[in-house]
């Protein structure tokens, strides 16, 4: 397997809000966490990806002090999960994988109750509840019992609940699983807003699109172990590299273009490919120098180019390549990234 772990010449920048080293949690024979290392820098979103049973929820539970790890260390906002659980709990918010609101209480009562549990005065708990209802567009449904909320409203209420104590670090365990695309977008907007206000987020997800939208860095875990980590684009580049897509004005130029690149040794190890149905030439790109040389050569030979750009593999392809299985989200859309190249 390719070594996908972070290399030393690319250290993370900025102070760490979450620092996990060698975290282990076994349930009998099951190694739910088998020596996990990860960092989340302050004010950023780390996406933790992994198939079912990878250990994502166990990780979140360890970092929330709900489960005590068997070995390893974890610090959140500088507090040790094992030795300083009380201080740590005051700095975090958690939106669990399964909705945690009280069904019989209204949205407003749920938020008020949590505020009181967090030692807010009656007045402050009321004010905070109303603020958050407003912010998560739940004011109209404030007095309705949570059991009558739609899935999306519940998720928003969950998010609102996790924000009551003004957490510095927020864990979102599969926050949008089961939501329709529109509601998912609303949740993403809220998460982005929290991040813009300085909250650090650790997000577990099986939706590649969600990871692309929200996370700046990713850690992929499988069977309790980290199998890849890095920035989204770095992971894509390491797995598949870039491909240049060139569309000539005239399709009949394609063979000649391919031959020119091959003769100049500019078409990468695997060689370029003609995709005639699309009318494009696909050239594997290994370096910026090669990219410039390819574009330069085609221009020098006088080919009229209608369009060209490079693209990275989709995150779905990356996930498949490193875990050997497809992400289980049924409706995740493979998002292709295109960056335009000036000819
Ligand atoms: N309380 C528990 N008792 C026994 N085994 C457990 C417990 N919690 C988790 N496990 C096991 O640990 C492993 C990791 O589970 P975990 O819930 O952390 O995975 P996950 O990545 O969150 O999966 P999913 O994507 O399905 O939510 C699984 O094999 C699971 O069966
Ligand atoms: Mg889980």
- pLDDT, average across residues 225-231: 91
User: Other CB atoms closer than 10 Å to residue 218's CB: what's the count?
Assistant: 26
CA end-to-end span of the chain:
36
Torsion sign across C-alpha atoms 329, 167, 65, 36? positive
Q: From the centroid of its chain, how far is CA 43?
A: 14
- Rounded-to-integer distance, Cα 256 and Cα 262, Å: 10
Answer whether 32 contacts ligand 1 (Cβ < 6 A).
Answer: yes
Tens of pLDDT, residue by residue over 65-98, are 999 999 999 999 999 999 999 999 989 999 877 6
Give the ligand 1 atom nearest the CA of 55.
18
Q: What is the pLDDT of residue 223?
A: 93
Answer whether 322 contacts ligand 1 (Cβ < 6 A).
Answer: no
Q: What's the pLDDT band for 328 if we cut at 50, 70, 90?
A: low
Closest C-alpha to ligand 1, atom 5: 27
- Rounded-to-integer distance, Cα 14 and Cα 29, Å: 38
Q: From the centroid of its chain, how far is CA 80?
A: 25
Q: What is the pLDDT of residue 326?
A: 66
- pLDDT, average across residues 190-206: 92
Answer whether 53 contacts ligand 1 (Cβ < 6 A).
Answer: yes
Q: What is the pLDDT of residue 256?
A: 95
30 burial class (0-12, 13-18, 19+ CB within 10 angstroms)?
A: middle
- Rounded-to-integer distance, Cα 287 and Cα 149, Å: 52
Look up residue 86 and give its two tokens: 């009380």
What backbone torsions phi and psi does residue 141 show, to the nearest 5 degrees? -100, 10
- Whether 3 shows a pLDDT value over 80: the answer reads no
């Amino acid at each position: 397997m390719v070594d996908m772990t972070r290399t030393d010449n690319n250290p993370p920048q900025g102070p760490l809000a979450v620092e996990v080293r060698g975290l282990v949690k076994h349930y009998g024979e099951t190694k739910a966490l088998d020596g996990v290392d990860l960092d989340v820098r302050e004010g950023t979103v780390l996406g933790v990806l992994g198939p079912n049973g990878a250990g994502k929820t166990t990780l979140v539970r360890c970092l929330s002090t709900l489960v005590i790890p068997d070995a390893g260390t974890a610090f959140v906002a500088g507090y040790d999960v094992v030795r300083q659980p009380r201080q740590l709990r005051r700095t975090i918010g958690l939106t669990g994988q399964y909705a945690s609101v009280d069904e019989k209480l209204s949205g407003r009562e749920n938020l008020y109750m949590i505020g009181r549990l967090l030692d807010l005065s009656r007045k402050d708990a009321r004010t905070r509840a109303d603020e958050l209802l407003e912010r998560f567009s739940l004011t109209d449904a404030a007095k309705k019992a949570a059991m009558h909320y739609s899935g999306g409203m519940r998720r928003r209420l969950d998010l609102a609940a996790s924000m009551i104590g003004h957490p510095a670090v927020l864990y979102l365990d599969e926050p949008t699983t089961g939501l329709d695309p529109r509601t998912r977008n609303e949740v993403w907007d809220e998460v982005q807003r929290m991040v813009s206000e300085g909250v650090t987020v650790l997000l577990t997800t099986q939706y590649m699109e969600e990871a692309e939208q929200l996370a700046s860095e990713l850690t992929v875990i499988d069977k309790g172990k980290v199998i890849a980590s890095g920035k989204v684009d770095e992971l894509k580049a390491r797995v598949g590299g870039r491909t240049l897509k060139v569309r000539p004005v005239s399709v009949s130029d394609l063979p000649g273009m391919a031959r020119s690149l091959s003769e100049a040794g500019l078409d990468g190890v695997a060689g370029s490919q003609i995709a005639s149905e699309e009318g494009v030439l696909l050239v594997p790109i290994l370096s910026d120098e090669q990219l410039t040389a390819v574009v330069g050569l085609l221009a020098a030979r006088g080919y009229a180019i209608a369009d060209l750009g490079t693209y990275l593999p989709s995150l779905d392809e990356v996930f498949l390549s490193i875990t050997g299985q497809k992400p289980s989200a049924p409706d995740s859309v493979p998002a292709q990234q295109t960056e335009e190249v000036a000819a």
